[in-house]
Amino acid sequence: MRHSADMRTILRRCLVLASAVSSAQLSVGASAQAQMHVTQIEIAQLPQFCWGRYGVPDAVGPEFNIPPGCGYAMNHYCDGLVLLIRAQHAANKSGRLSLLGQADQNIRYTEGSIEGHPQCPIREHVEQSRARVEDLFAIYGGRPAKKKR
């Protein structure tokens, strides 16, 4: 089952992160994490290429950052993903739609950036995030569902 495999991946990431850092708080090495107040649980749900942005200890190397060659707005993508995670867990509809709108803006900005970079290796991930945003807007009543072609 795809869902249980995804859940196992998330749980495994949580355990890896929890063992790497104190359970009280993640060492704030990156200003992005301090500004967004990104939690360990949120980081565990992000793709590995976002971990460098949020100062995950020992997450050094190219696999922990968005690779160069994707355009000028890559600093917005991981923040958009954090907002997307938060939108799915917000307590009420207005909170979900507000966070989803912010995620939408960040992902849209990223899409504009990678438009001129066809070799960007995270292009497919960005497209999947766009589809998820559109699905959630339809589910939460923020926009009508787009018809699939």
C-alpha triplet 102, 86, 40: angle, nearest 5° = 125
What are 75-112's pLDDT values in tens digits? 899 999 999 999 999 999 999 999 999 999 999 999 99
Under DSSP, is residue 22 helix (H, G, I), strand (E, B) or coil? coil
Place of tokens 């899409």: 111
The 8-class DSSP code of residue 58 comes to T
To the nearest 10°, report the CA torsion of 80, 84, 89, 91. Answer: 80
How is the chain split into domains, by residue range?
2-24+37-64, 74-140
Question: Is residue 22 very low, low, confident or very high in pLDDT (cuts 50, 70, 90)?
Answer: very low
Residue among 25, 72, 33, 70 at smallest CA distance from 50: 33
Instruction: Record the tokens describing residue 90, joined without a space.
Output: 């917000």
Q: To the nearest whole number, what is the mean pLDDT of the chain?
A: 81
pTM of the model: 0.75
Question: Is residue 71 very low, low, confident or very high in pLDDT (cuts 50, 70, 90)?
Answer: confident
Residue among 130, 123, 103, 112 at smallest CA distance from 36: 103
pLDDT of residue 24: 29
Which string of DSSP letters, residue by residue, matches 94-121?
A: HHHHHHHHHHHHHHHHHHHHHTT-TT-T
10 Å CB burial of residue 130 (0-12, 13-18, 19+) is middle
Residue 82 and residue 69: Cα distance in Å, rounded? 22
The 8-class DSSP code of residue 45 comes to H
Rg, the chain, Cα only: 16
